[in-house]
Each structure stands twice: as structure tokens, then as C-alpha cells.
Amino acid sequence: METRIDSEAFDRFREVTSSIGNSEIEAWKQAGGKVVGYFCSTVPEELFTAAGLYPFRMRGTGSTSTELSDGCFSNINCSYPRHTMNQALLGEYDFLDGLVCINSCDHVRRIYDNWTVRLDTPFVKVMSLPRKIGPPQIDWYYEEINLLRSDIQEHFGVEITDEDLWKAIKLHNEVRALQKKVYEYRKLDAPPISGAEALPVMVAGTAMPKERYKILLQQFLGDLEKLEGSSDYRVRLMIVGGELDDPEFMQVIEEQGGLVVTDSTCFGTRLMWRPIDESVADPVRALASYYIYDRPSCPRMYGDQSRRIDYTKELAKEFRVDGIIGERLIFCDQWLVEHYMTNADLKEDGIPFLQLDREYILSGKGQLRTRVQAFIETIEGMRS
């Protein structure tokens, strides 16, 4: 991916997100550190940081096939768990000392069953994520987090005190605030950073230790401030969807003249738009409330669609969006229904919407270009 950004920090972000293993992991392991992988942005990674562990968000980056993992899934499972599991079976995740799965969806939940049979990672746990967002569900997740806390302490021989948790929460909140500053630059008429460039910045935050990432992010913001912006685009777009960690998908859209200025995705604003409440007495309660209710949800959580569409519309207005693209991995039932409702709601406000279904590893670029071109022309036609 070509870029105008001249920044050592940005180069580092691209390096750690271009493959599964990276030099940050190697240095951490050489120093005797432990790495724990986790699925889904609803897993409280602050718990790992508080335990002195390296939290690593699971991806299938670099995968070229699902030959080894096809036997683990049905033919209607989405390609994200297929490619991620295939990378694991190839040995790309041998650096993991632990893995935390979650029932975010049946497709990802299935990974836990296969992982425990096919691989020998020393510490493998599964969390139960409630389906709704009320006080009973917060109480449920409070207990789930405490169970995981106990399991981590017992297995890794560490103590996770409340003070450790508050330090981790504060650090992660500081990172969220810095990430939000990156997005502030995207509000400008001539943003100095594109959507394809912003994505590896965000993904890097899930692929390296938070303290190290925070330092690099501060450096990057200093570099970004000096960079001249670009107004060479036809329309301002927003991406709404789930598992999107591939900058090439954004790049294909932006090559057609649509600048992606914001998003509501699992690697985007839903990670950081709101902080964890540090005024709560119990840090575990603060985590449970944040991950169940306080942060913007995805369609995995029932009964919250009205808040999600309000959040989408608020971002669209704040970033002066001309149109919204709904991104969906094929066979994802949750996002299929969500996009149907989103399209209907956006029509009421006159906001153009395009649904794009894709495989985890980008294919069909020609068709993608054609559909995006037509969408942009439609938006431009509405202006005249």
C-alpha cells in the first residue's frame, strides 16, 4: 500500500500488522513474557495487561487457504474463523501461551472446540457473553470476568489486584483517547490520513503491548500534525461492519474516489469511542458495565439496535459523511439482519447505503470496484 505518511511509528504499525508474528512478540518472549490471544472486542483485554501478559487479538492475516481448517467447520461457516484456525494449524500461533475464546457467534465459538482437540496451547478458556445489555447481563459478565481473573492467576502464577486492574484500565483509556485524536484529523476537509492508513494504526493496538503502542501512537500523532492533508476525493464515506482488519479493502474503495473518514467496526470506533468509567468503586464492575453496555455494541447484542443506529447517524453527522457502506463477511447472519435494518433507518434521513459482502481474504476486486464506483456516482447524482 502506497502512503504519503512519513513516520517511523506508522511504519512500525504496518510492520506488526502485516503478519501474525512480529518483532514485538519476539522481544517480549525473549524477555520471558507470556502472550495470550483472544477473540472479539468484547473480551476485557485490560485483564491481561493487569496480569503482565501480552494481549493479542486473533486474526487470519497472511492466510492463503483454509485447506487444514476446512475439516473443522461446516461449509456455511464464515471465512474469518476458517483462516484464523488454518493459520494456527500451520503453526503461526505457536507463540501463544494462552487463548481466550468467547461465544461472540457460533462460528467463532466453534474454534474453541477444535483448538482444544487439535492444538496444545497450555491455557485455553472460553467466556460466556450474554445476549442482552441490561443489569442482569452486566452481573453475569461481572462473574465471568472474575472467573477468568481467577483462572489466569492460578495458571500463570500471578496476582491481579484491584490496583493492577485500575492501572491497566487507565492505560487502555489513555490509548483510547489517543486513537480518538487520530480520528479527529479525519474530520477535516483535507484529512492527512486515509481510511486505508488509519486501519493498521488501529489494528496495531491489538497486536502489541499497550504501553509500547501508546508511546508509538504519541509519536505518530506528532508526525500526523505536520502532514499536509489531501482533498483529492469525490465523497466522504463511513464503513459499518464487524471483523475488518484488511487495509486493502479500504484501499480499493478509496481508489475509486471515496475517502473513508470514519467507521463503526470491531477494529475501529467501537474499540475506543467511549472510555471505561474510572469513577466506579470496583474495577471488575467497571469492565463488565463497559463491555456489556457502555461501549457501542454490535448486532451480537439483542435489543440494542436503536442505540446502534443512533450511534451510526451521530458519527455520520460528526464526520460529514456522504454515504455509508455496510461491510459483511459472507455467512454472517447477525450483520445480514443488521444491515437490512440499517438501510431502512438511513433511508429516513436520506443517507445513501451500500451493502458489500466479502470473504475474509479479499477477492473479487473487479466487482468491488464496480459496485463502489456506481455507489459514488449515485451519491454525486443526488447532489446535482
Write out pLDDT tens, residues 111-142. Answer: 999 999 999 999 999 999 999 999 999 999 99
pLDDT at 109: 87
Write out pLDDT tens, residues 8-28. Answer: 999 999 999 999 999 999 999
What's the rounded Cα separation, in Å, for the pair 211 and 53? 12
pLDDT at 107: 86
In this structure, are residues 140 and 175 in contact, taking their beta carbons and an 8 Å threshold? no
What's the rounded Cα separation, in Å, for the pair 326 and 87? 27
pLDDT at 4: 84
CATH topology of domain 23-163: Rossmann fold (3.40.50)
* 148: its cell numbers: 477468568
Model pTM score: 0.96
pLDDT at 106: 85
What's the rounded Cα separation, in Å, for the pair 277 and 288? 11
pLDDT at 24: 96
What's the rounded Cα separation, in Å, for the pair 62 and 46? 27
Q: By three-state DSSP, how is residue 288 classified?
A: helix
Rounded alpha-carbon distances, angstroms, from residue 215 to 50, 211, 288: 18, 7, 27
Q: By three-state DSSP, how is residue 47 classified?
A: helix
Give the mean pLDDT per block of 10 residues along the chain (384 residues). 87 97 96 96 97 98 95 90 96 98 89 95 96 96 98 98 98 98 97 97 98 98 93 96 96 97 97 97 98 95 96 98 97 93 95 96 92 97 82
Give domain limits for the chain: 23-163
